[in-house]
Structure 1
Amino acid sequence: MEKYEDLVVKIIQLNGDLYDAGIQQSHEQLVSDHIAQQELLLALTASCNAQHAQTILQHVCPNLLQEIKGLAFGLQQPLDTIVQMYSGYNMSFPEMGCTSLVHDGQYVRNYDFSPSLYDARLVFSKPLEGYASVGFSQQIIGRLDGMNEKGLVVGLHFVNNEWQGEGFLASTIVRILLEQCGNIEEAVAQLHRLPHRYCYNFSMTDSSGKVVVVEATPTEQVIDSNQPCICTNHFESQQLKRKNRASINNSIQRKRFIRDNVNDTCTTKSLYHLFNNGDSPLFVKQYNEYFGTLHTVIYSPTNLEVVVGIGQNCEPFTFSLQQFIEGNFILPTTIQGKILQTI
């Protein structure tokens, strides 16, 4: 018989100066996790040139550098060490999976990875400079997926880590896009300017209803604006197919399943359950192989609502980014669900 364990996700609220936000996160959330993960994170980031990473961040997104400086102060660690561990620059990272769909203006997504390297934090942020946003964090400052106050939604999809260059993990890139870009056109332009570490797909939509998948490698990007917008973990363009992993059968099968099971009659509720059902082909359970579904999320750019499920068969939680921005929403401190027990 399968055994399950609780997966608890913290709800984080950040307002104002991002240096102060870094300090807040170090004090309230991160000290024990930082100590437990420090050896692993330093090993994964051994090739990071912290000084070079700071120079790039100062140029492309000084807000993130300020948050890292706050983390360093709060954790009482050298800035170079915290930049190395949390900037995502030249970091090694295990393979992961993700499935997303944009349907009738809503962005639906499952994120698949291991709970051992999952931040388990849903972050609502309203910085002094840059757009307010909500999204799931990775490496504290990064975002796995998210939506900003302009209705831009972005999610990452791992493709391959064998083709690599000098640059940032996709989670850092998603954070930069959410903070700086108000629509798809701005996000695509910014993607071209940022240095990429590995091969990823970036799936996006915005309040206009436009959709796009950007297939990105360290040296080139290909834009696909075909609908329906379904994105998994492989490149489809003739230009980049050669950079896929050797086996992409599961990624192809998930994409095919969505094509065969989604139609115009699907509602928000039915889409959520299609993704969050533990028996669905879209919900995977290989947690010990870094390939288990951790959260299901629906971002709605037109009304800035977020529907979230943690683990499988979870009764969804609904939040309003707009109400958070206006200060009219009392957020819980945690939400939780169940995943297959890991060893």
Structure 2
Amino acid sequence: MRSYEELIVEVINVRGSYYQIGLQQSKELLSTSHPIQNESLNFINVQMAKQLLQFHSPSLLQEMEGLAVGLAQTLDSVIDIYSGYNITFPEMGCTSFVLDGNYIRNYDFSPTLYDARLVFSNPMNGYASVGFSQQIIGRLDGMNECGLVVGLHFVNNEYHGEGFIAPTIVRILLEQCKNIEEALKLITELPHGYCYNYSMTDQSGQSLVVEASPQKQELRYENPLICTNHFQATSMKEKNKKNIQGSVNRKHFINNLIEKNLTTIAAYRHFNNGNSPLFFKHYEEYFGTLHTIVYSPKLLEVIVGIGEDAEPITISFKDYLNEALTLPKRLKGWIDLNYKDGME
């Protein structure tokens, strides 16, 4: 028996200084159903997190200052909850494919821990970007005004160190880097808390994967690019989960699509079709597809679908930058929460 539930994603538009953006997001949190924590839960070294943010991303620290004031919380509490420093995060699945310069991606997780926010951000002292948020501050994937696209792919949380989770790292890269070269330099300087792949492309058309652990990072240039949830570099394979067959299968399926000379919309439908090997419905196990997104760096536009078999919606990020676009307030789709089958 199938029981579909509507999934609603809020479209957020924030502009101004980072402090003002923090204030704007606090008002949003207070007026919606997003859970707001009122005390520290992670018991991290807040002073170390603050020092690292001040060094690597003072703008995000300013945003959290605004968030703290708007939520009537201490800055230490907001850093503890939202910074992504030294916290654990459940396993998730993500599949990305860079085809003819377009970055196509599925994000697989649980709706109960999903921000359900597509954020358009235009800060005074950073690159404007569009992307899906996680823990408000972080980004699961995104594209900035220069055409840099970055997405995260969980690999393993067994091997961990002192550092940030991937959504915070993706956000920092989008805010500060105009292309892959700058992103590669910065990502090696940031402290990584866990094992993730980072898939990237930019307006040049080149694409690559950064296989990142707390100890080191390895680069894998691919064109076309296919990225799932396992490391491929010989020096990194030991950090994979024991069972990576599902991740390998997704990569093989996309590899077979390359020969079909797909259009961008055809590729989108292969990702978003509810019967596709790339679309998952294991929401209770944190492995259900929540959104499909296409980022087009050269056109500076996004094509997005929420949930299963969603009619794609195209939004011009270029028009947003030119203040010539009225953004939709929300995007809607459907997910099957009662789907029962073996995990892939």
Question: Is this a same-fold pair by TM over 0.5?
Answer: yes
Q: Look up the match of 1:11.
A: 11
Deviation at 1:261, TM superposition (A): 2.2
Q: TM-score, normalised by structure 2?
A: 0.96
Q: Look up the match of 1:305.
A: 301
What is the identity percentage for the equivalent residue pairs of Structure 1 and Structure 2?
A: 57
CA RMSD of aligned residues (A): 1.4
Q: Look up the match of 2:342.
A: none
Q: Look up the match of 1:27.
A: 27
Structure 1, 18-27 or 299-308: larger mean CA deviation: 18-27
Residue correspondence of structure 1 range 48-87 to structure 2 within 5 A: 48-87=44-83
Deviations 1:38-89 (A, max 9, x none): 28x954x23x211211111111111111111111101101111110000000
Match of 2:211 among 201, 208, 215: 215
Q: Which amino acid aligns with 2:80?
A: Q
Contact 1:212 1:225 in 2 (8 A): yes
Structure 2 counterpart SS, 1:328: coil
Structure 2, gaps ≥5 residues long: 340-344
Q: Look up the match of 2:112.
A: 116
Q: Look up the match of 1:225.
A: 221
Contact 2:206 2:223 in 1 (8 A): no
Q: Look up the match of 1:316.
A: 312
Deviations 1:179-214 (A, max 9, x none): 100110100110000000000000000000010100
Residue correspondence of structure 1 range 180-219 to structure 2 within 5 A: 180-219=176-215
Deviations 1:210-230 (A, max 9, x none): 101000000100000032210
Contact 1:168 1:197 in 2 (8 A): yes
Contact 1:305 1:319 in 2 (8 A): yes
Q: Which amino acid aligns with 2:8?
A: V
1:155 aligns with 2:154: no
Structure 1, 256-265 or 328-337: larger mean CA deviation: 256-265
Contact 1:31 1:75 in 2 (8 A): no
Contact 1:156 1:202 in 2 (8 A): yes
Instruction: Give the distance between the partners of 1:153 and 1:243, measured in 2 at CA.
Output: 25
Deviation at 1:33, TM superposition (A): 4.2
1:89 aligns with 2:99: no
Match of 2:276 among 259, 280, 290: 280
Structure 1, gaps ≥5 residues long: none
Deviation at 1:29, TM superposition (A): 3.1
Q: Which amino acid aligns with 2:173?
A: L
Contact 1:8 1:336 in 2 (8 A): yes
Q: 1:122 to 1:30 in 2, by over 3 A?
A: farther
Contact 1:100 1:110 in 2 (8 A): yes
Matched residue count: 339
Contact 1:288 1:342 in 2 (8 A): no
Q: TM-score, normalised by structure 1?
A: 0.96
Instruction: Give the distance between the partners of 1:342 and 1:23, measured in 2 at CA.
Output: 38
Q: Which amino acid aligns with 2:51?
A: T
Q: Which amino acid aligns with 1:238?
A: T
Instruction: Give the distance between the partners of 2:185 and 2:31, measured in 1 at CA.
Output: 37
Q: Which amino acid aligns with 1:153?
A: V
